[in-house]
C-alpha cells in the first residue's frame, strides 16, 4: 500500500508551517486533509475567516486546534465537519473529497464519517441516554433494535452502562458530555470532532472527560479537539495554533508522534 495517490497538494500537506516538518509519513490514508482552504463571508469588504489553511491529520491522531476567539478555529471546525463549505480549497475526509458535494451527500458524510461533541452537549430532552446515543445511527437507516444495541455498547464504553434509561435532566454535566461522546462514536466515525468539550464543565468533570477522550484516542479513534484553553491543549500530543485565519504553529510531542502514526 502506498500513500494517497493523486493529491496535488500532498508534498506540503502535513503541517504547512510546521516546525516538525514532514518527518511522519503515513502509510494510510489521512483521516483529514485540508489544502489551501479559504473561507470568506460576504460583506464590505468580505471577511476572510480562513486564509488558506492546509492541514493533514492521520488516522489515530489526536490533535488540538487552539486559538483565541476570532482566530478562525470555529470556522475550521465547521468546514472539517462539512457543516459549512470552503470558499476555495479542498477538504478530504478519509480519502473522500467533499469539496463539490451536494448538501445531501454532505449529510451522508456526516452520518458516516464524522462524530460531533459540542460544548453544550445538545442532548434531546425527553429521551433516554440510550436513545440519545442511538440517534447517532438514526440517519443511517439502522433499525431501532440495532441502534439501541450499538448505543448500549457505546454507553458502556464511556462508563455509563448504569445510566442507560436516564434522561439528560437526571444526569450531571460530566455524564451528559459522556453521553454525547458515546453518540459521537456510535457510528464509528473516521474523525471525532470535539468543540470545547470541557467548556461547560467544572474542572473535575472536565478532567474526567479529557481522560475519556484520551482513552478513546488509545482505542484508535482519530480525534480533533477545538479549544481556546491552552492548558488543555498542552496535554495533547499535537497542537495546531490558529491566529487570524492562519495556522500559526503545528507542534507535536515526539513520543506522541509515533503513537499518532501507529
Partner 1 sequence: MTVATAPVPEKPEVPELPTTRPASAPSAPRVAPTRSRLRAVDVLRVGSLGLRTRRLRTALSTLGVAIGIAAMVGVLGLSASSQEDLNAKIRELGTNLLEVQAGQGFGRGSGELPDTAVGMVSRIGPVTAVSSLTTVDATVRRTDAISEGITGGISVFAADEGLLDTLHARLLDGRWLDAATSAYPAVVLGTTAATKLGIVDVADGIRVYIGGQWFAVIGIIDHVTAAEGLDRAAIIGITAAETFIVGDTLAPETIYVRTEDDEVDAVRSVLGATVNPATPEEVEVSRPSDALAAQEAASDAFTALFLGLGAVALLVGGIGIANVMVIAVIERRTEIGLRRALGATRAHVRRQFLTEAVLLAGAGGLVGVLLGSAVTAVYARSQHWQVVIPPVAIGGGLVAAIVIGGLAGIYPAGRAARLPPTEALRSN
Binding site for partner 1 (CB under 8 A): 4-8, 28-29, 31, 35, 59-60, 78, 81, 83-84, 89-90, 94-97, 99-101, 103-105, 107-114, 116, 118-120, 122, 124-127, 135-144, 146, 149-150, 153-154, 157, 183, 186, 188, 190, 219-222, 262
Spatial CA neighbour of 250 closest among 12, 33, 111, 63: 63
CB of residue 74 to partner 1, shortest distance in Å: 9
Q: How far is the CB of 76 from partner 1 (least distance, A)?
A: 12
Q: 163 is written with which cell numbers?
A: 445510566
Q: Give me the least distance between CB of 249 and partner 1, in Å please.
A: 26
| Closest distance of CB 248 from partner 1, Å | 24
Cα separation of the two ends of the chain: 15
CA dihedral 21, 241, 210, 139 (to 10 degrees): -90
Which residue's CB is nearer to partner 1, number 153 or number 244?
Answer: 153
Closer to partner 1 by Cβ: residue 84 or 244: 84
Is residue 66 within 8 A of residue 242, CB to CB? The reply is yes
Shortest reach from residue 10's CB to partner 1, in Å: 11
Q: How far is the CB of 165 from partner 1 (least distance, A)?
A: 16
Which is closer to partner 1, CB of 118 or CB of 210? 118
Map residue 172 onto helix, strand or coil. coil
Decide if 139 contacts 121 (C-beta within 8 A). Answer: no
Rounded (5°) CA angle 37-38-43: 160
Entry field: residues in the chain: 262
In the complex with partner 1, the residue whose CB is nearer, 27 or 231, is 27
Which CB contacts under 8 angstroms, 24+ apart, belong to 199-202? 199/119, 199/227, 199/229, 200/119, 200/120, 200/121, 200/173, 201/173, 201/174, 201/177, 202/173
If the CB atoms of residues 31 and 236 are measured against partner 1, the closer one turns out to be: 31
Nearer Cβ to partner 1 (44/103)? 103
Amino acid at each position: 500500500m502506498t500513500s494517497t495517490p493523486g493529491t496535488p497538494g500532498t508534498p506540503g500537506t502535513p503541517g504547512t508551517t510546521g516546525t516538525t516538518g514532514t518527518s511522519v509519513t503515513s502509510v494510510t490514508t489521512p483521516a483529514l486533509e485540508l489544502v489551501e482552504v479559504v473561507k470568506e463571508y460576504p460583506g464590505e469588504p468580505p471577511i476572510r475567516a480562513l486564509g488558506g489553511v492546509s492541514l493533514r491529520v492521520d488516522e489515530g491522531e489526536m490533535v488540538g486546534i487552539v486559538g483565541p476567539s476570532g482566530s478562525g478555529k470555529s470556522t475550521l471546525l465547521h468546514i472539517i465537519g462539512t457543516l459549512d463549505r470552503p470558499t476555495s480549497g479542498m477538504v478530504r475526509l478519509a480519502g473522500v473529497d467533499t469539496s463539490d458535494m451536494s448538501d445531501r451527500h454532505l449529510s451522508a458524510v456526516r452520518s458516516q464519517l464524522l462524530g460531533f461533541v459540542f460544548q453544550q452537549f445538545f442532548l434531546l430532552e425527553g429521551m433516554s441516554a440510550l436513545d440519545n446515543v442511538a440517534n447517532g445511527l438514526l440517519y443511517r437507516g439502522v433499525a431501532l433494535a440495532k441502534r439501541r444495541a450499538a448505543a448500549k455498547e457505546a454507553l458502556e464504553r464511556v462508563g455509563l452502562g448504569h445510566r442507560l434509561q436516564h434522561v439528560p435532566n437526571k444526569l450531571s454535566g460530566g455524564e451528559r458530555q459522556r453521553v454525547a461522546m458515546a453518540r459521537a462514536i456510535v457510528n464509528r466515525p473516521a474523525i471525532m470532532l470535539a468543540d470545547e468539550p470541557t467548556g461547560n464543565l467544572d474542572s473535575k468533570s472536565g478532567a474526567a472527560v479529557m481522560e475519556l477522550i484520551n482513552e478513546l484516542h488509545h482505542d484508535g479513534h482519530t480525534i480533533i479537539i477545538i479549544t481556546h484553553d491552552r492548558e488543555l491543549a498542552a496535554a495533547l500530543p499535537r497542537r495546531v495554533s490558529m491566529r487570524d485565519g492562519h495556522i500559526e504553529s503545528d507542534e507535536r510531542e515526539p513520543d506522541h508522534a509515533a503513537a499518532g502514526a501507529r
